[in-house]
Amino acid sequence: MNENIDASLSITKHWKLFLEIIKNNVPALSYNTWFLPIKPIEIKDNILKIQVPNNYFIEWIDEHFNTLITQATKQVLGEEGKLVYIIYDDFIPDQEKDDFQSAPVEKNSISVSENNIKFESHINPRYKFENFIKGEGNQLARAAAIAIGENLGETSFNPFFIYGGVGLGKTHLIHAIGNAVLSKSPEKKVIYLSTEHFTVEFVDSIQNDRITEFSNFYKSMDILIIDDIQFLIGKEKTQDLFFHIFNTLHQSGKQIVLSSDKPPKDLKGLNERLVSRFQWGLTADIQPPDYETRIAILKNKSISYGIDISSEIVEYIAMNITSNIRELEGCLIKILASSSLNSKEIDMNLAKKIVKEVSTSREVTVSIDYITKIVCNYYNVEENKVREKNRRKEVVMARQLAMFLSKQLTKSSLKTIGLHFGGRDHSTVIHAYNSIEDQISSDATMKETVENLKSKIELGTS
């Protein structure tokens, strides 16, 4: 008990000191916007864990306050001190803030299995049905998801296969199923994984001779939720194993939920027996939101971010950003960020400027895997080497370049990029990025190489 009190005193003390330094060095508005919402979680051996509301925070503060944060960390935690970020991928609506902050950190995300082994369910407690706006484009998918959450194991929607373009709410919806199940029946074994994460864990289990354990673990779930299943394409061994897990779960009436960017029949290159199983239950698509839904989403998000924004501006954004919800959200966050950094009010001019920025920065979709493939080809390095702990010179170079290009050419967060390279930390990605940037500015050959690779990648994806 005393130890706990000591520990929490120590966190508070260190965090206060840290904030003190930041506060003296950044404008008050930036401080309030970017630093006050951060919550210190744990301190252990010079490592301070902090929780930030979402990825934008990490990227924004790393981009704008990197040096200051490094200095403050050293001052507070010593030369070896380190900050570790934990993300909750959404802002917390004001009305929920209080009970959220007094709750244990991973409130909804730890499940306890039969033999009392704790495991991460990876369910993000912020993605709920309550904050998922209903619209014409998501009606069927949403209704089916709610039904599954309410009556786990009793619907015929098994598997539930949901597909649609990027940023339309697939990930949100499938987490919401998990949250609904956990809040109704906390004893249920719920797990969410991205396909990428599932693959990484699988490879890891092969390396550690733990395949049986690995597959038994997933076979013991009440509901298995796998995101972006299209990334199973080209991963034959993972497909085989997934096939067996799928069968066992399905036969025992356990729920499987999958998301994908395409319907099952269009998943070219995926094993036929999987494609046919994916069509056994219910397949539902999500379409881009219509104008009214975009307005509703914008209003809802601005309330939860605590921004006061006029209907005129909301309508302007909804008129101009039409393709996906992630962009709508990104646009609001940028407006908030820009107004707070420059101490400017949110007016139509600012909105117009940001909308323009968001629309022109829209990139072709290119995947981290594809970038890695092109870069590895160029350096004649085997692709899996860059995901391992290999320190050979050309491997390090290929890895750093692939990370750099992934940051530049995709919308993936630093965390996601790190995960694609053998589960490396986001700070490793920043390090790689800075290192390549330095080399580009000091070395003309390097600059040319990067340009070359970029055009190869863009050619292959257009």
What does the binding site for ligand ADP look like in residue numbers (CB under 6 A)?
131-133, 138, 164, 166-172, 297, 325-326, 329
Q: What's the rounded Cα separation, in Å, for the pair 40 and 37?
A: 10
> Please, what is the minimum distance in Å from the beta carbon of residue 138 to ligand ADP?
6
Among Mg ion, ligand ADP, none, residue 132 binds (CB under 5-8 Å by kind): ligand ADP
> In a 10 Å sphere around its CB, with 0-12 CB exposed, 13-18 middle and 19+ buried, how is residue 84 labelled?
middle
Among Mg ion, ligand ADP, none, residue 325 binds (CB under 5-8 Å by kind): ligand ADP
Q: What's the rounded Cα separation, in Å, for the pair 334 and 403?
A: 24
Supply the Cα-derived Rg of the chain in whole angstroms.
Answer: 23
> Please, what is the minimum distance in Å from the beta carbon of residue 286 to ligand ADP?
7
How crowded is residue 172: how many other Cβ atoms within 10 Å of its Cβ?
24
* Closer by beta carbon to ligand ADP, 71 or else 320: 320
> Please, what is the minimum distance in Å from the beta carbon of residue 91 to ligand ADP?
9
Fill in the DSSP letter of residue 32: I
* Closer by beta carbon to Mg ion, 158 or else 171: 171
> Please, what is the minimum distance in Å from the beta carbon of residue 290 to ligand ADP?
11
Q: What are phi and psi of 424, to 5 degrees?
A: -80, 160
The H or E element containing residue 356 is: helix 348-360
Residue of this chain nearest to ligand ADP (CB atom)? 169
> Please, what is the minimum distance in Å from the beta carbon of residue 226 to ligand ADP?
12
* Closer by beta carbon to Mg ion, 89 or else 222: 89
For the record, the structure tokens of 140 come out as 């069927």
Among ligand ADP, Mg ion, none, residue 174 binds (CB under 5-8 Å by kind): none
Scan residues 145-174 and list those touching Mg ion (CB under 5 A): 170-171
The partner residues of 124 in beta bridges, in order of sequence, read none
Among ligand ADP, Mg ion, none, residue 53 binds (CB under 5-8 Å by kind): none
Of 153, 162, 144, 149, residue with least CA distance to 123: 149
Q: Which residues contact 447 (CB under 8 A, 6 or more apart)?
A: 440, 441
* Closer by beta carbon to ligand ADP, 181 or else 375: 181
Of 51, 207, 184, residue with least CA distance to 128: 184
Among ligand ADP, Mg ion, none, residue 326 binds (CB under 5-8 Å by kind): ligand ADP
* Closer by beta carbon to ligand ADP, 119 or else 129: 129
Among Mg ion, ligand ADP, none, residue 256 binds (CB under 5-8 Å by kind): none
> Please, what is the minimum distance in Å from the beta carbon of residue 288 to ligand ADP?
10
* Closer by beta carbon to Mg ion, 339 or else 413: 413
* One character per residue 171-190, x = contact with Mg ion (rule: CB under 5 A): x-------------------
Helices (H), 220-310: 236-251, 272-278, 291-305
> Please, what is the minimum distance in Å from the beta carbon of residue 170 to Mg ion?
5
CA angle 108, 113, 119 (to 5 degrees): 55
> Please, what is the minimum distance in Å from the beta carbon of residue 451 to ligand ADP?
30
Residue of this chain nearest to Mg ion (CB atom)? 171
Q: What's the rounded Cα separation, in Å, for the pair 419 and 149?
A: 29
Q: Which long-range contacts (CB under 8 A, 24 or more apart) does 78-85 make?
A: 78/46, 80/46, 81/46, 81/47, 81/48, 82/46, 82/47, 82/48, 82/427, 83/47, 83/48, 83/50, 84/47, 84/48, 84/49, 84/50, 84/425, 85/49, 85/50, 85/51, 85/52, 85/58, 85/426
* Closer by beta carbon to ligand ADP, 211 or else 364: 364
* Closer by beta carbon to Mg ion, 14 or else 301: 301
Give the binding site for Mg ion (CB under 5 A).
170-171
